[in-house]
């Protein structure tokens, strides 16, 4: 029985909001490193029951944004994004001061006791209320996955304007690849990782499909022998996809990420072939072949000053086929610096992104976009560092030397022969420093800090000469985050409303 006057509290949360596309590496975009671990977890699971005297209180750092006349979305550091109707919001407000189930029952005497108990249980499960005593938030900075970039080849058939590679005619040998895999599993074992993720990358990794096949079969055998889980993804420009390639990837249980920056010319103008020929038609065909043969690729979009105004059409196209995607911001490098029009001009970029968000609002996908919508940000999962660089990431060049980030492939700090290369990478203080967001000036007091984490350290250093400061994209992030939360709220209403009521 529900009060007609007040209405039934609706508390809508999603269990799949941490979805992030593959290749995005759990938290990151495009071809970056990453592993995010939950930062906050409640210490105990509680079943509410009549007569329970324990006091509960509203979780700290929680914000509410109106979605429409009926619903609000609640977001905050220590709980999941949750949609509440007015009745649930009123109920939550009662916990602004500590109170127990009996206090609430007295103040909500027109509610059925069972319904009330269920609604409070849901507020608790969503993390919106916590016990007044004995509740702590744990910071877990121990990622479960060690990610390794295998630079299968430096060669590529494309010449994307933002590419950071010299495109030398140099491939990884099977011998070097196997040594890199052994090295990764050694570090995984010595540092107690549960899983290894291999990224077969380049250049264009699919120029060497046989190398990928042999190496991944070897990785599977090492995984079995060491009892460490294995995950693998091929990062591709999409031009060389054939049904046989898809069949191979499927047999190997490998995932596929394809780069696509726009429809037609919005893609062509920054991702052309080495001879200058357009590549869009071939990438489109590659995506189609993958989908028709049962392998759904993750689409990685690099957003630049050039293609921002074409994002909306691209997203519309991707959503029509329900393809997962991630939007990653361009990062200048030494080779791309001459292309001034790739630079991210704030208002232009925000306008392009918001136009894309409008399309998403009309065609809300089933999967959550919290981990893939805005550059390095993961709004679904709290974390302290933007990526795994210097922590849980190894980048092997084609000679078996190890760098910290694929964009600094030439700055090697270790090699396949070292017993525990991860230890060397973690101890290195000379190159890129991937600081905790708590150590970044401007970020410490930011409400978004544990989702944003201050952006790509390399991009920040390039723009400011410092690692300990907020991202040069900070204004863009702050303009987009509330919109991304709003979209998630609308998505929850669309897909979970019917099953959410108590």
Residues that bind ligand SF4 (CB under 6 A): 28, 32-33, 331, 376, 386-387, 389, 405, 407, 432, 437, 442-443, 446, 448-449, 452, 454-458, 470-471, 474, 477-478
With residue 450 as reference, give the H or E element that holds it.
helix 449-452
Smallest gap from residue 282 Cβ to ligand SF4 (A): 26
Dist CA 458 CA 331 (whole Å):
8
Asked whether the beta carbons of 363 and 117 are under 8 A apart, the reply is no
440/449 Cα distance (integer angstroms)? 10
We find the least distance from the C-beta atom of residue 339 to ligand SF4, in angstroms, to be 18
- In the complex, minimum distance from the CB of residue 223 to ligand SF4, in angstroms, rounded to a whole number: 23
**Residue 184 or residue 268: which is nearer to ligand SF4 going by CB?**
184
Tokens for 471?
Answer: 């991202």
CA distances from 289 to 51, 122, 259, 492 (A): 60, 44, 15, 32
* Separation in Å, CA 158 to CA 161, 259, 502: 9, 12, 54
CA atoms within a 13 Å half-sphere pointing along the CA-CB vector of 243: 2
Q: How near is the Cβ of 177 to ligand SF4 at its closest, in Å?
A: 21
Q: Which is nearer to ligand SF4, 356 or 409 (CB)?
A: 409
Residue 447 burial (C-beta neighbours within 10 Å; 0-12, 13-18, 19+): middle
Smallest distance, Å, CB 62 to ligand SF4?
17
- Tell me which H or E stretch contains 176: helix 174-190
- Cβ nearer to ligand SF4, comparing 95 with 393: 393
Question: Which of residues 214 and 468 has its CB atom nearest to ligand SF4 in the complex?
Answer: 468
Give the total residue count for the chain: 502
Q: In the bound complex, what is the minimum distance in angstroms from residue 253's beta carbon to ligand SF4?
A: 24
**Which residues are paired to 236 by β-bridges?**
258
Nearest distance from C-beta of residue 480 to ligand SF4, angstroms: 10
Which CB sits closer to ligand SF4, 79 or 385?
385
Please state, in angstroms and rounded to a whole number, the distance separating the CA atoms of residues 315 and 295.
Answer: 19
Closest CA to 261 of 358, 362, 330, 355: 330
Residue 407 CB, nearest approach to ligand SF4 (Å): 5
E strand spans, 218-278: 229-236, 255-259
At its nearest, how many Å lie between ligand SF4 and the CB of residue 438? 10
Nearer to ligand SF4, 248 or 373 (CB): 373
Give how far Cα 170 sits from Cα of 94, 150, 155, 290, Å. 65, 13, 7, 27
Q: Which is closer to ligand SF4, CB of 245 or CB of 405?
A: 405
Smallest gap from residue 264 Cβ to ligand SF4 (A): 28
Of residues 13 and 374, the one with the C-beta less far from ligand SF4: 374
Residue 31 or 154 with smaller CB distance to ligand SF4? 31
Residue with tokens 């726009």: 262
Q: Which residue, 237 or 378, has its beta carbon nearer to ligand SF4?
A: 378
CA–CA distance, 397 with 385 (Å, rounded to integer): 24
We find the least distance from the C-beta atom of residue 342 to ligand SF4, in angstroms, to be 15
Task: Give, for 115, the enclosing helix (H) or strand (E).
Answer: helix 113-125
Angle at 464 between CA 384 and CA 357, to 5 degrees: 60
Residue for token pair 């062509």: 268
Residue 196 CA to residue 54 CA, distance in Å, equals 43
The Cα–Cα gap between 393 and 201 comes to 14
Closer to ligand SF4 by Cβ: residue 177 or 454:
454
């Amino acid at each position: 029985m529900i009060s007609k006057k007040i209405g039934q509290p609706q508390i809508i949360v999603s269990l799949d909001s941490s979805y992030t596309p593959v290749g995005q590496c759990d938290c990151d975009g495009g071809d970056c490193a990453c592993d995010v671990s939950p930062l906050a977890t409640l210490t105990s699971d509680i079943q509410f029951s009549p007569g329970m005297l324990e006091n509960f209180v509203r979780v700290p750092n929680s914000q509410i944004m109106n979605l429409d006349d009926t619903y609000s979305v609640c977001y905050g550091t220590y709980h999941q994004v949750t949609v509440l109707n007015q009745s649930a919001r009123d109920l939550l407000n009662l916990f602004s001061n500590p109170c127990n189930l009996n206090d609430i029952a007295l103040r909500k005497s027109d509610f059925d006791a069972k319904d009330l108990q269920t609604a409070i249980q849901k507020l608790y499960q969503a993390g919106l209320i916590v016990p007044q005593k004995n509740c702590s938030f744990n910071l877990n900075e121990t990622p479960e996955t060690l990610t390794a970039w295998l630079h299968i080849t430096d060669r590529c058939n494309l010449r994307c304007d933002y590419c950071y590679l010299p495109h030398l005619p140099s491939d990884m040998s099977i011998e070097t690849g196997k040594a890199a895999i052994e090295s990764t599993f050694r570090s995984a074992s010595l540092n107690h990782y549960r899983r290894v993720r291999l990224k077969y990358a380049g250049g264009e990794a699919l120029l060497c499909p046989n190398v990928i096949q042999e190496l991944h079969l070897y990785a599977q055998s090492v995984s079995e022998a060491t009892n460490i889980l294995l995950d693998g993804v091929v990062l591709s420009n999409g031009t060389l996809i054939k049904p046989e390639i898809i069949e191979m990837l499927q047999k190997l249980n490998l995932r596929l990420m394809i780069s696509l920056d726009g429809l037609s010319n919005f893609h062509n103008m920054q991702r052309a072939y080495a001879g200058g020929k357009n590549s869009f038609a071939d990438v489109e065909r590659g995506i189609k072949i993958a989908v028709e043969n049962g392998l759904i690729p993750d689409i990685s979009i690099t957003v630049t000053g050039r293609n921002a105004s074409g994002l909306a059409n691209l997203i519309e196209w991707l959503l029509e086929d329900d393809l997962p995607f991630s939007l990653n911001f361009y990062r200048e490098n030494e080779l791309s610096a001459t292309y001034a029009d790739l630079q991210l001009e704030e208002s232009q970029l925000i306008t392009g992104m918001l136009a894309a968000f409008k399309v998403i609002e009309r065609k809300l996908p089933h999967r959550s976009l919290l981990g893939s919508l805005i550059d390095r940000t993961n709004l679904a999962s709290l974390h302290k560092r933007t990526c795994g660089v210097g922590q849980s990431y190894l980048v092997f060049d084609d000679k078996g030397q190890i760098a910290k980030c694929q964009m600094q492939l030439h700055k090697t700090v270790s090699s396949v022969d070292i017993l525990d290369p991860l230890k060397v990478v973690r101890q290195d203080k000379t190159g890129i420093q991937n600081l905790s967001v708590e150590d970044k000036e401007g970020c410490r007091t930011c409400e978004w800090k544990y989702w944003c984490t201050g952006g790509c350290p390399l991009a920040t250093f390039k723009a400011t000469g410092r690692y300990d400061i907020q991202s040069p994209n900070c204004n863009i992030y702050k303009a987009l985050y509330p919109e991304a939360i709003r979209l998630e709220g609308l998505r929850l209403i669309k897909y979970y409303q019917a099953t959410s009521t108590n």
